[in-house]
């Protein structure tokens, strides 16, 4: 009986068997590579979704963030006392913020020394005036800073008063404010900023 081994040398059969095993191994390797690629793609999508959630929603990256500041000083021009209010607003967020002029402004309040200085109590503030702010700005871009000054004549009957400058900026449901207290002898009390959403 004549077999296939008779016509084909052993080395050829070994080479054929090895080649057949290699092609099956390559197919397995390709399948494994496809599975790994799909796993890594899925993992990348999940990690990207988690990063996006924390960056944009938890981290509040694109939330509106403003830094308002107001300072004041009192000085005399031609025998009249004046209050100079310096207003600064900086957008430290990554979103453009619209300024609602109707609900934004600078309030000037005053407090006269109490008649009875024997007791400690909060100062009583009287509203003197309110002024519009940043009228030429409808909005503020990210990383933009805008400044403005306002010169206010102080009535003679309020000459020895302490003044409070309150700055309010509104955009949608967000409000930012800053405050400074200015005394008649040009000393300033440290102002503070506060914001709420």
DSSP for 143-161, please give it: T-EEEEEEEEEPPGGGTT-
Do 113 and 148 share a domain, yes or no? Answer: yes
* CA gap 70, 180 in Å, rounded: 6
Give the pLDDT confidence score for residue 193 in this predicted structure: 42
Asked if residue 186 has pLDDT above 90, the reply is no
- Tokens linked to 74: 């009192």
- Asked if 171 and 64 count as a contact pair (C-beta separation under 8 A), the reply is yes
| Residue-wise pLDDT tens digits, 105-133 | 999 998 877 677 677 778 889 899 999 99
* Domain span holding position 54: 4-58
Do 21 and 115 share a domain, yes or no? Answer: no
CATH code: domain of residue 158: 2.60.40.10
Domains identified in the chain, total number: 2
| Residue-wise pLDDT tens digits, 32-52 | 778 888 888 999 999 988 887
Do 24 and 86 share a domain, yes or no? Answer: no
Do 103 and 190 share a domain, yes or no? Answer: yes
Of the two residues 188 and 134, the one the predictor is more confident about is: 134
Do 114 and 159 share a domain, yes or no? Answer: yes
Q: Encode 90-121: b = buried (16+ Cβ within 10 Å), e = exposed.
A: bbebeeebebeeeebbbbbbbbeeeeeeeeee
Do 21 and 40 share a domain, yes or no? Answer: yes
């Amino acid at each position: 009986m004549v077999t296939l081994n008779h016509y084909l040398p052993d080395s050829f059969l070994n080479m054929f068997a090895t080649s057949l095993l290699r092609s099956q191994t390559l197919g397995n390797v390709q399948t494994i590579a496809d599975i790994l690629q799909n796993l890594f793609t899925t993992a990348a999508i999940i990690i990207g979704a988690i990063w996006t959630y924390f960056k944009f929603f938890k981290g509040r990256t694109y939330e509106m963030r403003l830094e308002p500041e107001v300072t004041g000083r009192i000085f005399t021009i031609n025998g009249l006392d004046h209050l100079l209010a310096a207003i600064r607003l900086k957008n430290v967020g990554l979103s453009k913020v619209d300024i609602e002029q109707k609900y934004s402004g600078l309030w000037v309040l005053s407090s006269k020394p109490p008649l009875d200085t024997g007791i400690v109590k909060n100062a009583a503030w009287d509203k003197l005036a309110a002024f519009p702010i940043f009228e030429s700005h409808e909005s503020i871009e990210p990383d933009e800073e805008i400044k403005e000054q306002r010169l206010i004549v102080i009535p003679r009957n309020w000459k020895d008063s302490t003044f409070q400058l309150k700055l309010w900026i509104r955009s949608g449901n967000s409000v930012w404010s800053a405050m400074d207290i200015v005394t008649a002898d040009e000393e300033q009390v440290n102002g503070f900023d506060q914001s709420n959403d």
